[in-house]
Amino acid sequence: MPEHDGVHPESGSLGARRSLAARLRALRRPRRRTVFALVAASVLLVVATLTVRTLLRYRTAAVMDVPVREFTNAEYPEDPADRSPDFGRYNGRDLRLVQRDETHFNFVFEPRHPHIARVTFRNVDVSLMTPSLPEWARSDPGLVRIALTDRQWNRQQVSFDRSVVEVEEGDGLEAGKFARGELSAELAKNCLNAGLWELLLFFKDAKSGRKQLYYQDWFTFPLGHYRRLFERNTGLAYVRHWYYLEHWFDPAGTPLPLEKLRRVRRERVVTAEFLGDERVLAAGEQSRKQRTTMADNVVHWADFFDGRNVRFATFLPPGRYSVRHPWKNEYWRMERLEKAILRDVVSPASDTPLQELELVFSSRRPGIMRFVVSGFDLAKLPRLVPQDYARTMAATAGKDQALAYMPMGIGTPPFFQEYSQLQQSPPEKGPYFCLTLDENGRWINHHEVGIDGPVLHCDDTEDGVLHVYLLSYERHSLIGHWRIEGLSSSNAHGVAKK
């Protein structure tokens, strides 16, 4: 047997393997430390990025220069506005936003050119144009979610008088018309993501009142102020609600207990007729939006519900229509009117009995759709012939608060309103709500159905007759006319036609 200097051959091999394993372990330790360090650094980088993004996104100051966007004719050919001959001649403004106190702001639109006037909105209470909640809806998470969703995702356009607005300098055209009451200055919270606003300036005929748009721009009201005002209005933590306010997130199927919104005193089925063979009416903003309605040969109301291809221009950020993005609908849900129910109700907002109307629809598919509009006073609705339905918008926007041309939602303000009326009647303190529900009381997404709200007026000559129209998505068109009869209560006759 050969000699090995007293060392067994296997013991040498084992030592070598142990030495190699030790070196490999030594190599792995720094690699693990490197991996852990890279992961930790990545996490810190993500956290830091999100922190910086959040700080920048929600940054506020007492005085802020806010970027504005203006569209040319070439950029926005489908604009449905009734434009003034002076449209495009007064473009070029910058916005300076000045915080006056916790809720009030000055909006100063500074001119970039000497012929353009400075337009200032002084001491505007922006909390009135920020989502809020009726007190009686706070106890139910479903009511909270739908109330806040529709409050943000509905248009709120407010006109201001000379107690708030100043128009100064320029070439004298704007300031002169303003002094004569021939200029209307308006701000709009768009029916889009949180913070998207518009400025709209109109020249108007002093006798007829017809308004023609001569200037419009779009801007983002600072989200830091929006967040603070939201929390002040609602008492809720913004972090729990921010996503669906800043980004659309469909809450379809949310259960809604209507008994928390009103108490029913009386209920009865009333005679209702869908006037399917009547020709489609188009007046007011619907006549202007015919260019944004994509539907061939829709002549009668029934044509909206026979399955033909009806599309509307989609309303996209920052607040403009696009015919290249057609909006579909679910009008198949309204194939048949099953019944109409009229209720006398009492809202937590008022001890005065009010009315509620429910239209129950069905189709060849399973399930029903309930259209419920509540909190209106039949005695205050205007009395009109159907061809004058557009006058309901003026009745709603003015001081009478007729609630005749309204959006969907809970505690939502009118689409169009005077600032003085908004101050006197904040939407969250009113009795109004309008919802689409399934047979189990769960919310149906009215945006997907293609309904933006109701138009209501009493008949011009017949007592106890109510006319109901439904507004399409974005109020491009009326989509139907229902005649409701047998409203025998003493307050069901409406306001005499003026």
What is the per-residue pLDDT across 197-207, written as a single tens digit (0 to 9) for each? Answer: 999 999 998 77
- Ranking 297-306, 369-378, 479-488 by mean pLDDT, the lowest is 479-488
241, 262: one domain: no
* Residue 230 CB neighbour total at 10 angstroms: 25
Q: Answer yes or no: do 264 and 232 share one domain.
A: no
* Local confidence band at 208 (pLDDT 50, 70, 90 cut-offs): confident
17 belongs to a structural domain: no
Residue 19 has pLDDT above 80, yes or no: no
> Does a structural domain hold residue 167?
yes
Mean pLDDT of 406-433: 97
Residue where a domain stops, chosen among 246, 280, 301: 246
- The structure tokens listed for 494 are 């409406």
Distance set, CA 119 to CA 91, 178, 399 (Å): 13, 10, 25
- Residues 81-132: pLDDT tens digits? 999 999 999 999 999 999 999 999 999 999 999 999 999 999 999 999 999 9
Which amino acid makes up residue 24? Answer: L
Answer whether residue 234 is part of any domain: yes
Higher pLDDT pick, 44 / 460: 460
pLDDT at position 397 is 83
Confidence of residue 311 (pLDDT cuts 50, 70, 90): very high
Q: pLDDT over 90 for what percent of the chain? A: 82
Average pLDDT over residues 235-249: 97
Site of tokens 């929600």: 58
Using alpha carbons, select from 124, 135, 375 the residue that is nearest to residue 233.
Answer: 135
Please check whether residues 183 and 328 belong to one and the same domain. no
Per-residue confidence (pLDDT) for residue 398, from 0 to 100:
74
Within a domain: 1 = no
pLDDT value for 22? 66
Q: What is the pTM of this model?
A: 0.88
The reply to whether 222 and 307 lie within a common domain is no
Distance between alpha carbon 146 and the CA centroid of its chain, in Å? 12
> What is the arithmetic mean of pLDDT over 284-300?
95
* pLDDT confidence of residue 43: 65
Residue 172 has pLDDT above 70, yes or no: yes
Q: How confident is the model at residue 169 (pLDDT cuts 50, 70, 90)?
A: very high
Q: Which among 187, 216, 246 is the end of a domain?
A: 246
Structural domain harbouring 345 = 258-485
Give the closest residue to 434 by CA, choosing from 374, 495, 360. Answer: 374
How much is the pLDDT for 410? 98
Average pLDDT over the chain reads 91
Q: Which two tokens stand for residue 32?
A: 């693990």
Binning pLDDT at 50, 70 and 90, where does residue 394 land?
confident
Are both 75 and 224 inside the same structural domain?
Answer: yes
Round to whole Å and give the CA distance between 233 and 127.
7
Instruction: Tell me whether residue 496 is in a domain.
Output: no
On whether both 238 and 267 belong to a single domain, the answer is no
Residue 17 has pLDDT above 80, yes or no: no
Min mean pLDDT across 285-289, 330-334, 358-362, 486-490 is at 486-490
Residues 174 and 290 in one domain: no
Q: How confident is the model at residue 260 (pLDDT cuts 50, 70, 90)?
A: very high
Residue found under tokens 């008088």: 161
Query: What's the one-letter identity of residue 85?
Result: P
286 lies in the same domain as 154: no
* 3, pLDDT greater than 70: no
| pLDDT over 70 (residue 146) | yes
The whole-number average pLDDT for the span 380-384 is 95
Are residues 182 and 282 both part of a single domain?
Answer: no
**85 assigned to some structural domain:** yes
The pLDDT of residue 206: 72
Residue 4 is predicted with a pLDDT of: 42
Kindly state the average pLDDT of the residues 190-198. 97
Mean local confidence (pLDDT), 336-356: 96
- Do 338 and 223 share a domain, yes or no? no
pLDDT category of residue 2 using cuts at 50, 70 and 90: very low
Longest CA pairwise span in the chain (Å): 129
Q: Is the pLDDT of residue 270 over 80?
A: yes
Is 33 inside any structural domain?
no
User: Are 207 and 305 contained in the same domain?
Assistant: no
Q: What is the pLDDT of residue 207?
A: 74
194 pLDDT exceeds 90?
Answer: yes
Residues 105 and 166 placed together within one structural domain of the fold? yes
Please report, in angstroms and rounded to a whole number, the separation of the first and last CA atoms in the chain.
128
Q: In the listed set 246, 271, 301, which residue is the last one of a domain according to the structure?
A: 246
The Cα 131–Cα 136 span in angstroms is 15
d(CA 316, CA 211): 24
Residue 496's pLDDT is what?
Answer: 42
| Alpha-carbon gap, residue 255 to 463, rounded angstroms | 37
Total domains in the chain come to: 2
Output the six-digit token pair for 233. Answer: 């209005």
Give me the pLDDT at residue 1, please.
43
Query: Is residue 8 in a domain?
Result: no
Residue 259 reports pLDDT greater than 70: yes
